[in-house]
Structure 1
Amino acid sequence: MLRSLYTALLYVFAPMALAGTALRGLRDPAYRDRLSERLGFTNAVAPASAQRRIWIHAVSVGEVQAAAPLVRALLKKYPQHSFLVTTATPTGAQRVRALFGDSVAAHAYLPYDLPGAVRRFLNRVRPSLAIVMEREIWPNLFGECKHRRIPLLLASARISERSAARHRNFAALFSEALSGNVIVAAQTAHDADRYRAIGARHALVTGNVKFDIETPLAAREAGEQLRLTQLANRPVWVAGSTHDGEEQQVLAAHRLVMAQRPDALLVLVPRHPNRFDAVRSWLKAEQINFAARSRNDSVTVETSVLLVDTLGELMTFYAAADIAFVGGSLIATVGGHNLLEPAVLERPVLVGPHNFNAPDIAQLMLDRGAARQVTSAEQLAAVILELYTNPSTRAEMGAKASAIVAENRGALNRVMDLIEPLLQAPSQIT
């Protein structure tokens, strides 16, 4: 009954969502591409051969990045299989192409959770195994996978207490979705308990595959070269994955830093490409002397901000910098982004107070002294100035951050151990 009501509401709102995506395409043409895939009409058809297919869903850029170690491990272990990666956003699709190129044979957009769209999608892609990253639960999609006896693994699964409470209000709907063929490989014991509370029958703790982030040697080398050629002898800090409402605080902090260190350089990396033009215009209005990465502008002694308005270069600039601030954390609505990216590069990490996307990682890094929390532009500036004057403290924080990553690796192997029997005997989950 509850699932029927859920589906009826989707039929009401799906046309609005499709229209909204089309309208968004007026500003960002990527959103106009492949609109039919939102209704299950994907061109990512499974090969005609007997080759089996592994399907991985990662909703957007962050989840694609988190899935990268798992996808690479699967490609290496199962070269005889074909692979499909789905996302919900064009930026996620772009990240799939940037990370995996032709090694992943197909990309598609996940369809809306309408019964017909889901059936069309599965008829075309015909997966032997579905892997969903982190926290996506779609009752009709999961139900159709169960009907077709397609095993489904929630990898590196997480759910906040607030989200779990909302899900418990619709316990019958989510209990049905998470029963039978679904295995929840949770990040923490708390996550596993919350999934069980909303109906998961098979929930176990495997850890967070984000800790299995690969040391990006190419990014490290590119960052070191960039530092030598353009950023030498300057104090450099990165504000990575920033959002509207946060960039204003970051720039205010940078102005306070420059009052004492006029040679300081801020590398500003907005999270979403569709905001690049707006951020460029805003910096002009603020009368900031900035260089735009997309235009290959040179960074001169007069440049105070380097705007990275390109995709896929955040790790390079973390490697080139002295200090990393990780965005999405100074505003209450986003929940923070990946602290492990600068950590694996041995950079001291600064972060705002809002980290509900990965609270355990944030708390661990704060408790261990690998990260410092700031709540305002003034605090951010003060900590940056403190770290600039204490190179040994920067090095100590960076070493602690890298050690945390090293100590918590292993989730990838535990998830891979779950995948092998699912591919061998997918019908045995009950």
Structure 2
Amino acid sequence: MLFLYDAGIYLYFLVARILALFNKKIKLWVNGRRHLLEHIADVLDTGDSRIWFHFPSLGEFEQGRPVLEALRKNYPGKKIVITFFSPSGYEIRKNTPLADHVFYLPVDTRRNAREFIRLVQPEMAIFTKYDYWYHYFNELHEKQVPLYVISAIFRKQQPFFKWYGTLNRKMLDFISHIFVQDEASKELLQTIGIRHVTVSGDTRFDRVAENAVHPKAIAVAEQFSNNHQVFIAGSTWPEDEKLLAELVVEYPDWKFIIVPHEIGESRITALCKLLPENSFVRYSAIATSQISNLKSQILIIDNIGMLSSLYQYGNIAYIGGGFGVGIHNTLEAAAFGLPVIFGPNYQRFREARELITLQAAFSIDTFNGLKAVMQRLQDDSLRVQASETAKNYVQRNTGATSAIVGYICKNLSSVKNHIDT
């Protein structure tokens, strides 16, 4: 099985190098790993021990950020190294002040894992939600470096629980402790003999709750809203935007803020073509002198990093991705007390299912469905009820960070670095 795993990793990297000739994001992924270990050796001081955080992408960074911030605060003298698998995480957070060093994660080969661990000398490693890499986990295990996976969630469809998942199950044995989001995940792990598990909840609740208390002020959005009812569509894809283009015509008295998931010029141009002429303004086109004169019905955000704070200006939220592989982050909007609407592909997301059960979220699969939900939410009493329910749901589920950090801090003092230098 390990041979097949290694062959798959090699093939993945080979295909990525070919696709990098045609895809900008994949090119960043490939180029970011060129001479990476040599670069790490040049910038890291030997003799330091560090806490290593790994995040697959930007979403997991935000999810694990409360734990990162807590450990940074509790242990200000400890060095922190962050790695990302995806360019969408690395390129946006490569200069974060929460870490001493930020790198791409070298491809998971035995040699790379051994050299990376030797250079970083982690006192512990913390992975968020997923990204299970055999050689890194095995190397940490052999060096007796504690490895924690936080905010993990498991489903019976995953390889861990299949007859062919021997190697995947072995990776779980290498983990020192797994903090899962729900009881169902713990029960699944117990069926395969994994018992070093704590149901701590999801650290995203802590992150979005904190953000809702201290959001960034966005002058353009505040002036654009200007006491209007505001519909905020976050992380949208083309299928979402086709429905939204029809909705803006049906509700001319509402303001709309649309935040596409991808903001390349071709994507923004395609979105603009869907919308009524002269109905929109792009964020990048607004000069400071124009902020006081935002008369358009639609504000298109062609900028990164604003969405989580934009929800403070909204009354209803639409979350994109539900017509593709799955919806994006619903909790950021729910934390501000916004009723949430999304497409049909949401079943893999526990919070989406629970918000629907609580009637604080609504799934649609056609424009008529979207229109019906929008009409329903015109009733102020129903919208207020959904709003309060969404906000209370987030508050009830906070606390994962304190559970995880408490466990880690309790064990940190007894951790010894067993890495050969």
Show the counterpart of 1:242: 236
Pick from 193, 202, 210 the counterpart of residue 204 of structure 2.
Answer: 210
Show the counterpart of 1:93: 90
1:186/1:52 CA distance change after superposition, 3 Å:
same
1:341 aligns with 2:332: yes
Instruction: Tell me, in whole angstroms, the C-alpha distance in 2 between the residues paired with 1:278 and 1:147.
Output: 48
Taking structure 2 as the reference length, the TM-score comes to 0.88
Tell me the secondary structure at the aligned position of residue 345 of structure 2: coil
Tell me the secondary structure at the aligned position of residue 76 of structure 2: coil
Matched ranges for 1:371-410 at <5 A: 371-387=361-377, 389-410=378-399
How far off is 1:400 after superposition?
Answer: 1.3
Query: Contact 2:20/2:26 (CA < 8 Å) preserved in 1?
Result: no
Instruction: Tell me, in whole angstroms, the C-alpha distance in 1 between the residues paired with 2:234 and 2:39.
Output: 33
1:118 aligns with 2:108: no
Instruction: Tell me, in whole angstroms, the C-alpha distance in 1 between the residues paired with 2:182 and 2:230.
Output: 35
Equivalenced residues, count: 412
Q: Structure 2, unaligned stretches of length 5 or more? A: none
| 1:140-180, Cα deviation, whole Å (9 max, x unpaired) | 22111111211111101112232257x52333201221114
Matched ranges for 1:254-403 at <5 A: 254-255=247-248, 258-259=249-250, 261-273=251-263, 276-286=264-274, 288=276, 289-296=279-286, 303-329=296-322, 331=323, 333-358=324-349, 360-387=350-377, 389-403=378-392
Instruction: Tell me, in whole angstroms, the C-alpha distance in 2 between the residues paired with 1:137 and 1:28.
Output: 20
Pick from 181, 185, 194 the counterpart of residue 200 of structure 1.
Answer: 194
Instruction: Tell me, in whole angstroms, the C-alpha distance in 1 between the residues paired with 2:38 and 2:171.
Output: 23
Pick from 138, 142, 146 the counterpart of residue 151 of structure 1.
Answer: 146
Query: Contact 1:128/1:151 (CA < 8 Å) preserved in 2?
Result: yes
1:46/1:279 CA distance change after superposition, 3 Å:
closer
Query: Contact 1:151/1:427 (CA < 8 Å) preserved in 2?
Result: no
Tell me the secondary structure at the aligned position of residue 230 of structure 1: helix
Tell me the secondary structure at the aligned position of residue 328 of structure 2: coil
Instruction: Tell me, in whole angstroms, the C-alpha distance in 2 between the residues paired with 1:364 and 1:55.
Output: 33
Instruction: Tell me, in whole angstroms, the C-alpha distance in 2 between the residues paired with 1:220 and 1:204.
Output: 31
Instruction: Tell me, in whole angstroms, the C-alpha distance in 2 between the residues paired with 1:9 and 1:220.
Output: 43
Segment drifting more, 290-299 vs 339-348: 290-299
Paired-residue identity, %: 25
Instruction: Tell me, in whole angstroms, the C-alpha distance in 2 between the residues paired with 1:238 and 1:32.
Output: 35
| 1:251-309, Cα deviation, whole Å (9 max, x unpaired) | 23x24xx33x3232221112234xx3222221343353321112326586763332111
Tell me the secondary structure at the aligned position of residue 215 of structure 1: helix
How far off is 1:92 after superposition?
Answer: 0.8
Show the counterpart of 1:20: 19
Tell me the secondary structure at the aligned position of residue 311 of structure 1: coil
Pick from 30, 52, 69 the counterpart of residue 55 of structure 1.
Answer: 52
Q: Structure 1, unaligned stretches of length 5 or more? A: none
Taking structure 1 as the reference length, the TM-score comes to 0.86
Instruction: Tell me, in whole angstroms, the C-alpha distance in 2 between the residues paired with 1:161 and 1:247.
Output: 33
How far off is 1:76 after superposition?
Answer: 0.7
Tell me the secondary structure at the aligned position of residue 161 of structure 1: coil
Show the counterpart of 2:245: 251
How far off is 1:390 after superposition?
Answer: 2.3
Query: Contact 2:17/2:27 (CA < 8 Å) preserved in 1?
Result: no
Instruction: Tell me, in whole angstroms, the C-alpha distance in 1 between the residues paired with 2:28 and 2:385.
Output: 43
